[in-house]
Amino acid sequence: TNGIIRPKGYNVSWHSNPDIEKHHFGHAHPMKPWRLTLAKGLIMSYGMHTAMDTYVSRQATREELEDFHSADYLEYLKTAKVALPDDDYPKDFNLGGSDCPIFEGLFNYCSMYAGASIDAARKLCNNESDIAINWSGGLHHAKKAEASGFCYVNDIVLAILQLLRKHPRVLYIDIDVHHGDGVEEAFWSTDRVMTLSIHKYDGLNFFPGTGDLERTGPDSEGNPGAHHAINVPLNDGIDDDQYVWLFKTLVGLCVERFQPTAIVLQCGADSLAGDRLGRFNVQVQGHGACVAYCKSLNIPLLLVGGGGYTPRNVARAWAHETSIAIGCDSTLDPIIPIHTPYRTHFRHETIFPTLSEILAGENRPNKNSEKKVREIVASITEQLRFVNR
């Protein structure tokens, strides 16, 4: 279909499981696992699955989850009961509030998306894949013993721990509109992982409230993790031109200085224009250009999902990015195939709707000046001078 041809010379692995997609966070909750069903429908209607090694992901074992998470947190996560709305159920480990509700099958959901990221990382470690994809992962806020911001188990940390068994240095890049605080914190004190998160930051309300430019790593002298955390705080409305320029400039500098042997890219789609929770004006093209740039570095690459709260745009972005991974993006017909399941969900029948179609007249001015963007690059350039590999 659509002339999709398996790439010669390199392998892409795709890790997914329909079991993950059927979980519900609750009626009004913005996180909708069925967006993965929508994305998968689009990917498969283009025939992209024929060009990848596809794997049905499995649950991570308790032992694998304990590589990062505490045993008592995991035990609670497994046994926590769904509470009635008016129950004053204990909110231990930040579980059971409105952001991180306890829902039916919660532990199954968490161990499944974690299992997929761990398997994907192992494919990269044993050189069976050059690019490994888990769109159900990317849950960057989860802590060792705490749920946070729709995230319960930190599959990214678990995947990076796998990569570190083989790889001396891992670069983690996070284009979700929120700060990748959980991953940053987990590797705060090591010089083997560099974290780079681009996000909306207002020093006040926007979740999780951390990620200013000065947050660069532990400040105590002689701590190996110093300078290895990179934060790019942005204002509302950043557009493709600025975003992609910033991304390429900063990732280019990090790669040059840190020389990672593996890259993990969290592709949170809430940085897209028109996202229900996001504030940026990034388009599917710009979001995809970040993936294309990482691919062009020819370093083993793990792609994970993350946020994304306007499901049709999440599906567009991750289908487009799957095509970039395979290398068929330039020949892909942007008109969504007629036999795509749930095709009626896509109000504009192209992978690349225009900004005015996405925003439907709702104006979001770009509050990021050229000067501010250049100051960010100058500051991070200076920071990287302290990174010795």
Is residue 57 within 8 Å of 109, Cβ to Cβ? no
Q: Is 275 in the site for Ca ion (CB under 5 A)?
A: no
The smaller minimum CB distance to ligand TV7, of residues 151 and 253, is found at: 151
Q: Is 270 in the site for Zn ion (CB under 5 A)?
A: yes
End-to-end CA distance of the chain: 46
Q: Which two tokens stand for residue 244?
A: 């992609």
The one catalytic residue in 23, 179, 228, 320 is 179
Q: Give the residue closest to ligand TV7 by C-beta.
A: 307
Is residue 50 within 8 Å of 68, Cβ to Cβ? no
Contact pick of 29, 58, 166, 345 for ligand TV7 (by CB under 6 A):
29
Mask of contacts with ligand TV7, 247-286, x by CB under 6 A? ---------------------x-x------x---------
φ, ψ of residue 313 to 5 degrees: the values are: -80, -30
# residues near ligand TV7 by CB under 6 A: 19
Contact pick of 150, 201, 243, 293 for ligand TV7 (by CB under 6 A):
150
Q: Which residue carries 């000046």 as its tokens?
A: 369
Q: Is 181 in the site for ligand TV7 (CB under 6 A)?
A: no
Binding segment for Ca ion among 14-22, 40-48, 198-206, 288-296 (CB under 5 A)? 198-206
Binding segment for Ca ion among 164-172, 193-201, 301-309, 357-365 (CB under 5 A)? 193-201
Beta strand spans in the chain (E): 12-16, 53-56, 131-134, 170-174, 193-200, 229-234, 262-266, 301-304
Q: Give the residue closest to Zn ion by C-beta.
A: 307
Using the CB atoms, write b or e for 221-246: b if 16+ within 10 Å. eeeebbbbbbbbbbbbbbbbebbbeb
CA distance 282 to 293: 16
The smaller minimum CB distance to Ca ion, of residues 167 and 200, is found at: 200
Residue 54, strand partner residues? 14
**Residue 329, Cβ density class (10 Å: 0-12 exposed, 13-18 middle, ≥19 buried):** middle
179 is catalytic: yes
Mask of contacts with ligand TV7, 339-358, x by CB under 6 A? --------------------
Residues in the chain: 389
CA distance 33 to 24: 7
Catalog residues that contact ligand TV7 under the rule CB under 6 A. 28-30, 98-99, 139-141, 149-151, 176, 178, 207, 268, 270, 277, 306-307
Q: Which residues are catalytic?
A: 179
- Residues in contact with Ca ion by CB under 5 A are 174, 176, 180, 197, 199
